Structure 1
């Protein structure tokens, strides 16, 4: 894990698939678990999805709440 990975999880969106446009932190557990079973994408995205799956699987999502950027509007 890199120092800014947690902030990236609350800012980066999923670039493809059923949940395209959704923040990585907001991806459902079953979707993350699917990647864990079938293989994460190569590169940075795969590394971040694997980290998010580990956080979700261990019930640690609340640690990301403080990092969220409030919606603007």
Structure 2
């Protein structure tokens, strides 16, 4: 059971490649395609509350750590 905490949430990763930004400069851009500079801006100003904020923060961490390749198989679906 402890190893489950280390496994990525596949539903969350799927949302990162399907959900579009609902507002702002990059409205209608899929979250995984947002530029890191935009995610950094949220990091400085504060991520939105709720699910969108969690997803944006997750995408920021993925990009910050060079883990974009993890999303490639999901993008191809």
- Partner in structure 2 of residue 67 of structure 1: 74
- Partner in structure 1 of residue 15 of structure 2: 8
Moved >3 Å (runs of 4+): none
- Matched residues, number: 70
Higher relative CO (CA 8 A, sep ≥ 6), structure 1 or 2? Answer: 1
5+ residue gaps, structure 1, are none
What RMSD, in angstroms, separates the aligned Cα atoms of the two structures?
1.3
Query: Could you tell me how far apart the structure 2 residues matched to 1:67 and 1:3 are?
Result: 9
Structure in which a larger fraction of residues adopt helix: 2
TM-score, L = length of structure 1: 0.89
After superposition, residues 1-73 of structure 1 pair within 5 angstroms as: 2-69=9-76
In our comparison, the structure showing a higher alpha carbon Rg is 2
5+ residue gaps, structure 2, are 1-7
Pairwise CA distance, 1:69: 4.2
